[in-house]
Amino acid sequence: MAKNKKTHIMVIPFPQSGHMLPTVDLVHHLLRRHAAVTVVLTPNNLHYLDPLLRIHSPENLRPLSFPFPSHPSIPSGVENMSQLPTHAIGDMIQAFSLLRHPLSSWLESSPDPPAAILSDMFSVPWTNKLAEEFEIKSIAFLPTTAHTLSVIWGQDDRGFFEELMQSTSTSWGLILNTFKELEEKYVEDLKKNFMGHHRVWPVGPILPPAAGSDEDRGGKSSVPVGELTAWLDAFPENSVVYVAFGSQVSMGKAQGEAIAAALEKSGVRFIWAVKKSGGDDTAEIVPRGFEERTAERGRVIRGWAPQKVILEHRAVGSYLTHLGWGSVLEGLIGGTVLLAWPMHADNHFNTKLLADELGAAVKVCDGMDSVPDSDELARVLADSVRVDLPERGKAVELRGMGLAAIDEGGSSYKALDDMVREVGTSAV
């Protein structure tokens, strides 16, 4: 590499909010390390880069857009998993893989080819082949835990994950959105038994740029952020429960009724973010009259919620969540007690790690189709805002460890430094 030449990395986020956001945040931290980054997005997902484009030079941050590939099972105009049911993930993976052909043509004619292709684990079966075709490094990005990957790899039947796992294990390197102090034994297991080399970098928790807007991380807030924070400002520290289940989980009517009944019986202050998909189907999820009866102590947000703002507010003390990893990290950095209702994918593994092993979460329900007992859930909600809750102390401890890891000189900070240096100097 020529002296002073920036290390050029191509980043290919997977089009699902829980994967897209940490990948784009990772791009920010690569740019801070003087890398040049080309980010591959389809037109309807380009807005994810808006916060970064406001603070980084166009010389270093280079959006590269291709039309979303046509697929018989994906409606025209749909380019993100948040617009599809969970079971369509296989179709989305297959459709997105068709970008290999236009990307190959682009790389063939590029005067400044990247030193590495960094892609989400869902894309490595084809991005590894693309990297091999052009004799450049392939780096897999896993926006969840080393624990999840380690457990699935140890199973005889990996099912849906078999090809993704095998491809990831043959990548030149692996980046994890976790930190060594949280799960060191699982990181070491991946180095030894999964990748078979040292190029496994835990660089999390990957946080967004401080200068970026919290209002446009993946969508426009459904409520004025200033109005929401002003409402929260009126309440004591750790006295509000936040209820949200990510961009992919759709609640049923019975589940919504149970949550509403529990919130009402518990007497807690709350913010409840209800997912909106297609038409406004939130009317059935939130029972009629609930908002009027709880107006003095609660807010219901329909559509995109400014989750990071909410979780980092001093008044928010607990978080009822599906325990998707992005939500876990946002909750931990906010210092909240995690109330776990695992639904699918990595949620169950995260619950085992956070609740069973680390004691930083309370399991309250389990499964996509389960309906909690509203009396029991009300008790848990009321309990969750207690100052002396043991899980609160553990959450505060993990928050401190995570922030120390990403601070200059911390384990994650140094790991990302090492990764960029190795990409720029090592052979394929």
Catalytically active residues are: 19, 120
Rg (CA), the chain: 21
End-to-end CA distance of the chain: 13
What are the φ/ψ torsions at residue 316 (nearest 5 degrees)?
-85, 120
Q: What is the rounded distance in angstroms from the CA atom of residue 275 to the CA atom of residue 285?
A: 10
* 3-class state of residue 211 by DSSP: coil
In angstroms, rounded to a whole number, what is the distance separating the alpha carbons of residues 388 and 93?
A: 45
Provide DSSP, 253-293.
Answer: HHHHHHHHHHHHHH--EEEEEE---SS--HHHHS-TTHHHH
Asked if residue 242 lies in contact with residue 274, where contact means CB atoms within 8 angstroms, the answer is: no
Bridge partners of 36, per DSSP, are: 8
Q: Phi, psi at residue 363, to the nearest 5°?
A: -80, 125
Structure token digits, residue 114? 């990247």
Sheet holding 337-340, edge to edge: 298-302, 269-274, 240-243, 316-321, 337-340, 361-363
> Burial letters for 137-156: b for 16+ Cβ neighbours within 10 Å, e otherwise?
bbbbbbbbbbbbbbbbbeee
